[in-house]
Structure 1
Amino acid sequence: MWNGERLQNADRTLLAQFASVQNGLTRALVLAFGSGLLLASAGTAYILRLERQTRARYFELARSRHDLQELSAQLVDAQESERRTISRELHDEIGQSLGALLVDIGRLSAHSTSLEPAIRTQLEHMKSIAERCFQAVRNIALLLRPSMLDDLGLEAALEWLGREVSRNSQMEVTVETEDVPQDLPDAYKVCIYRLTQGALHNAARHSSARNATVRVKHSKQGIRLWVADDGRGFDPARTRGIGLLGMEERVKRLGGIFSIESQPGRGATITAELPPPLGSGASE
């Protein structure tokens, strides 16, 4: 009987110890679970806060990029307008004044047989200077804004540009056009002309090219400009000057795609693919 009481006491002791351990484990699990919930809640709140900040910064960057694109477009429009104005003033004012001066010098030269040799020599010198000034003003006006771009269209302006570059450099330029409509919007004409002008300038000045080809083709998909040269080439991933960035911005502004293919020693090819312009025969 005494042994039975001892066994019962031992069982009660074991049950008490087990209950104590169980209570301790329960409290530990509750604390761990609560801590985990607290950490999870804090982590979730932190992640949500970071996500809100990231989204706000993304929208801010997108808005800033849009504002920069709008500013770039306004600057391009202002630049073209200023070029057109200066070109017209040079042609109408200074050009005509120099032309009138050449006429007067010509009339004096017609009667120079009765003048002293020194005076005749001075007249010839004045005529030579006036002719050079007249030609320089004409060239500057055409480079700023060729009147034929407005009067005769894109094809004539590109052919003139190719002849001028060939005449003033060591590079021979070939211009090829296919089905280019005459009623292109001014934005398209200016974009294609400026891209061609910049590409030929870079090829003649920086790549030591001997030959360059300009192709403009119209199709149902839009208008494609292709300018290639056989110069020394470059790495487009490492060389990206202001001129190339300006070309890309002009194309993107019209919703087009701009690309450069070049390797050192293998020339360069600049391609611009523009969507069909609205409200012109180019979209038919």
Structure 2
Amino acid sequence: MDRLPVELGALGFQAVVTSLLAIVYLRLWQRQHQAFFGTWALAWTLYVARLGLISLYIVSRLEFWLFLHQAVTGLTALLLLWAALQFSRGARWRWSYSWLGVAAVAWAFFAIVVVHSMMAAGITAALLLSGVTLWTGMVFWGYRQRVHSAGATVLAWAFTLWGFHHLDYPLLRPLGSGVLIGVFIDVLFIMVVALGTLFMVLSDGRRTLEQRTAQLEQLTQQLLRAQEDERRRISRELHDEAGQVLTAVKIELDLEGRREASAMVGRALAQVRDISNLLRPSELDDLGLVPAVRGLAEDFSKRTQVRVALEIDESLQSPSPEQQVVIYRVLQEALTNVARHARAKEVHVTLASNADQVVLRIEDDGQGFEHEPVPHLGLLGMRERVAALGGSLVIEGVPGAGVRLAISLPSAVGA
């Protein structure tokens, strides 16, 4: 059986698989704009060219193709080494490094064209590829210790074993023997490297997303804290400054007998107090959560004529200040939504706690809803506040049977 077509077919198959690997790295470079992905894409492209050149040599036996094969092999090895340095150390290109590529081409010319020694060319190429591949494996072993990435583990093992495999080219497989086995082993390593790269990129992407999520949650907490501080400051200024001024004006008008003007100032004073209370109820700071919740429920009933049945667990453990603010704001927003949308006659509010969590439930007998409500600023605000403390929020609605909203906060938060 003529081995030439079989060997060429095997090399062609390896070239196709390697081309796919080059395309993977090229796409990663285009999406993530990381220089080492671009270098790896170029290195594997040259690897494909290397396979094509050795195929031409096998067919023609011309030293020219063998020289180009050895030169491209050296450049491929140097690019793989450079990609590993970019990945592990963030190395930057300097034109002084280009002499290494010139040296690789010069050595290939000397070994093939001048000395005509295939053994010298083959051994140096194998040692260079093996050394660079093993070095790349060491890079991924070090990366794995720092990051604990499953993809890096796969790549570390793949490049390490592949590096030892490169040594069998001049030692165990002279030209014409064992080519098929070597080719299929190379293909196997190429596929493993492609999978390991994808795993590593996905793992890095997930880790980056987790870090950004944590940063976003921290920023959300800071923004909510700043919002509450600003509301507290404005509420105090309205109560202490504007409220006192309006009270003094009202007293003067009463003394002068100007009842209509005094009544108008009284209404303005009541509005200022309502706004101050909506911004930050003084009861929440001065008396605590339970009186603030009772005051909110009573004020809501007076304004809307919707009855609020309030049930507070007598054994309610004192929530943390952060939890008190969240509970109050969620109840405030929920009652506002009842007044705007529910057409309810009664609202049932339950506040309880156990060893693990604090639970607030709000149920109305209004018109309910059939589909998930469209997120609006108030609902998003509730979710953000609850999520910032590690809690959960659930909204359930049944057409004609009202809406049920429940939040639970872990008891340990802020304690």
Instruction: Return the alpha-carbon distance in structure 2 between the equivalents of residues 64 and 24 of structure 1.
Output: 55
Unaligned 5+ segments in structure 2 are: 11-177
Q: Point out the more displaced range, 146-155 or 270-279.
A: 270-279
**Cα contact 1:155–1:180 (8 A) shared by 2:** no
**1:265 match: secondary structure:** coil
- Is 1:219 the counterpart of 2:354? The answer is yes
Correspondence for 2:285: 150
Equivalent AA in structure 2 for residue 54 of structure 1? L
**Cα contact 1:212–1:228 (8 A) shared by 2:** yes
**2:272 match: secondary structure:** helix
- Is 1:207 the counterpart of 2:355? The answer is no
- Is 1:107 the counterpart of 2:242? The answer is no
- Is 1:271 the counterpart of 2:406? The answer is yes
Instruction: Return the alpha-carbon distance in structure 2 between the equivalents of residues 224 and 83 of structure 1.
Output: 25
Correspondence for 1:46: 194
State the identity as a percent: 34
Higher RCO structure (Cα 8 Å, ≥6 apart): 1
Correspondence for 1:92: 240
Correspondence for 1:197: 332
**Cα contact 2:322–2:414 (8 A) shared by 1:** no
Q: For residue 31 of structure 1, report the CA deviation from its aligned partner.
A: 4.8
Equivalent AA in structure 1 for residue 231 of structure 2? R
**2:292 match: secondary structure:** helix
Q: For residue 265 of structure 1, report the CA deviation from its aligned partner.
A: 2.9
User: Residues 237 and 40 (structure 1 numbering): CA distance in 2 closer, same or farther, change over 3 Å?
Assistant: farther
Q: For residue 90 of structure 1, report the CA deviation from its aligned partner.
A: 0.4
**After superposition, where does 1:175-186 map in structure 2 within 5 Å?**
175-179=310-314, 181=316, 183-186=318-321
**1:209 match: secondary structure:** coil
Equivalent AA in structure 2 for residue 240 of structure 1? P
Unaligned 5+ segments in structure 1 are: 1-20, 110-122
Q: For residue 247 of structure 1, report the CA deviation from its aligned partner.
A: 1.5
**1:174 match: secondary structure:** strand
- Is 1:55 the counterpart of 2:203? The answer is yes
Q: For residue 180 of structure 1, report the CA deviation from its aligned partner.
A: 5.4
TM-score, normalisation: structure 1: 0.78
- Is 1:36 the counterpart of 2:184? The answer is yes
Which of these two proteins has the greater Rg computed from alpha carbons? 1
**Cα contact 1:236–1:261 (8 A) shared by 2:** no
Instruction: Return the alpha-carbon distance in structure 2 between the equivalents of residues 125 and 208 of structure 1.
Output: 35
Equivalent AA in structure 1 for residue 245 of structure 2? S
**Cα contact 1:251–1:258 (8 A) shared by 2:** yes
Q: For residue 72 of structure 1, report the CA deviation from its aligned partner.
A: 0.8
Instruction: Return the alpha-carbon distance in structure 2 between the equivalents of residues 180 and 236 of structure 1.
Output: 36
The structure with more helix, counted as a fraction of residues: 2
Equivalent AA in structure 2 for residue 141 of structure 1? S
Correspondence for 2:375: 240
Instruction: Return the alpha-carbon distance in structure 2 between the equivalents of residues 164 and 102 of structure 1.
Output: 24
User: Residues 255 and 154 (structure 1 numbering): CA distance in 2 closer, same or farther, change over 3 Å?
Assistant: same
- Is 1:72 the counterpart of 2:207? The answer is no
Aligned CA-pair RMSD: 2.4
Q: How many residues align?
A: 247
User: Residues 190 and 22 (structure 1 numbering): CA distance in 2 closer, same or farther, change over 3 Å?
Assistant: same
